[in-house]
């Protein structure tokens, strides 16, 4: 009985392959080239970093420490294993202090609700504000050095939130509740904005806009305001009635004065010309009387 020989791959019969390709010889000849490719593949990403749109990068040098420079958008070169980079989003963001969740929009945060404070006359009010800010691009390294790797997130919690609350309370405390309720509100908003801009600059944060959105007064004060407005409306109504009556009185007086003046004129005419009575009688009686007046009587 004849047994069939098993099929043996050509590789084992002829290691050089069909085209006489010898793997051992290839690896021996190009091993340094292959090692170089592998090393380059591993090292090059550490040489190049990509800073995207709306981003900046800071550099920490393991030899000299924090570098006081910021890498701009685009492709940047660094020294691998010596320079370590951290990329931050530096776009402007709105920080909303409100108790209304519906006010939150994409890219904005609600930071702990409205700001409750007291006025100079002891009235309790609730203030809603919006703060638009961003880190100072050139000073981003300072935030990284002083606040840590989570500088972008933590500067909101550690700086913006407490500073905004503190300054709003400080400025509001200098005004009465009636002043805040009136036209002084615009002046108050400008004062808060200037103080906030100056204070945040110390922490390398740029204030781009401050808005005093809404001021809510206590129920007691709101009721007092409504009662005051109601009383004012009633007083205005009474004033209008008084003015109307005075106008009517003045019209009657003017009419009486006119009539008196007319009577005086008639009396003076009679005094100067007694024949005027006979003339009027003649006009009234007409043909029912025959009165002859001589020229001398007129």
Residue that terminates a domain, selected from 45, 72, 88: 88
Q: What pLDDT was estimated at residue 209?
A: 93
Domain count, the chain: 3
- 79 and 123 both lie in a single domain: no
| Percentage, residues of the chain above pLDDT 70 | 62
Least confident of 58-72, 114-128, 249-263, 269-283: 269-283
- 15 and 39 both lie in a single domain: yes
> Quick check: 106 pLDDT over 70?
no
**Residue 5 within any structural domain of the chain:** no
Q: Whole-angstrom Cα distance, residue 123 to residue 247? A: 44
**Residue 4 within any structural domain of the chain:** no
What's the pLDDT tens digit per position in 15-32? Answer: 555 556 666 676 777 777
What's the pLDDT tens digit per position in 137-163? Answer: 889 899 888 877 665 566 777 788 889
Q: What pLDDT was estimated at residue 180?
A: 83
Q: What is the pTM of this model?
A: 0.59
Instruction: Supply the DSSP string of the chain, one letter for each residue.
Output: -PPPPPP--HHHH-TTTTTT--HHHHHHHHHHHHHHHHHHHHHHHHHEEEE-TTEEEEEEETTTEEEEEEE-SEEEE--TTTEEEEEEE---EEEEE-S-GGG--TTEEE-SS-EEEE-TTS-EEEEEEEEEEEE-GGGHHHHHHHH-TTHHHHHIIIIIHHHHHHHHHHHHTTS-HHHHHTTHHHHHHHHHHHHHHHHHHTTTEEEEEEEEEEEEE-HHHHHHHHHHHHHHHHHHHHHHHHHHHHHHHHHHHHHHHHHHHHHHHHHHHHHH-THHHHHHHHHHHGGGS-----GGG-
Q: Whole-angstrom Cα distance, residue 186 to residue 276? A: 76
* Higher per-residue pLDDT: 50 or 264: 50
Q: What pLDDT was estimated at residue 59?
A: 92
User: Domain containing 160 — which CATH number?
Assistant: 3.30.479.30
| Percentage, residues of the chain above pLDDT 90 | 19
Average pLDDT of the chain is 76
* Higher per-residue pLDDT: 205 or 292: 205
- 240 and 210 both lie in a single domain: no
- 83 and 109 both lie in a single domain: no
- 57 and 72 both lie in a single domain: yes
| Host domain of residue 18 | 10-88
- 228 and 208 both lie in a single domain: no
- 99 and 210 both lie in a single domain: yes
């Amino acid at each position: 009985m004849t047994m069939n020989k098993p099929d043996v791959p050509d590789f084992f019969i002829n290691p050089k392959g069909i085209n006489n390709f010898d793997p051992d010889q290839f690896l021996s000849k190009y091993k340094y080239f292959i090692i170089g490719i592998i090393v380059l593949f591993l090292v090059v990403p550490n040489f190049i970093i990509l800073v995207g749109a709306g981003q900046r990068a800071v550099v920490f040098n393991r030899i000299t420490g924090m570098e006081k420079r910021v890498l701009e958008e685009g492709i940047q070169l660094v020294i691998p294993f010596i320079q370590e980079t951290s990329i931050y989003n530096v776009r402007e963001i709105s920080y909303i202090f409100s108790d209304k969740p519906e006010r939150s929009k994409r890219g904005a945060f609600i930071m702990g609700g409205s700001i409750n404070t007291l006025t100079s006359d002891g009235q309790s009010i609730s203030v809603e504000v919006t703060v638009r800010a961003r880190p100072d691009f050139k000073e981003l390294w300072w935030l990284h050095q002083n606040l840590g790797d989570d500088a972008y997130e933590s500067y909101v919690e550690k700086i913006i939130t407490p500073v905004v609350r503190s300054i709003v309370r400080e400025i509001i405390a200098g005004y009465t509740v009636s002043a805040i309720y009136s036209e002084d509100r615009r002046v108050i908003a400008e004062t808060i904005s200037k103080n906030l801009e100056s204070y945040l600059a110390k922490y390398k944060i740029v204030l781009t806009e401050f808005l005093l959105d809404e001021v809510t007064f206590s129920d007691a004060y709101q009721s007092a305001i409504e009662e005051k407005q109601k009383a004012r409306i009633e007083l205005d109504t009474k004033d209008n009635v008084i003015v109307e009556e005075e106008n009517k009185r003045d019209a009657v007086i003017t009419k009486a004065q006119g009539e008196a003046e007319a009577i005086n004129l008639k009396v003076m005419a009679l005094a100067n010309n007694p024949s005027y009575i006979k003339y009027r009688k003649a006009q009234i009686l007409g043909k029912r009387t025959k009165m002859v007046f001589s020229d001398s009587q007129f």
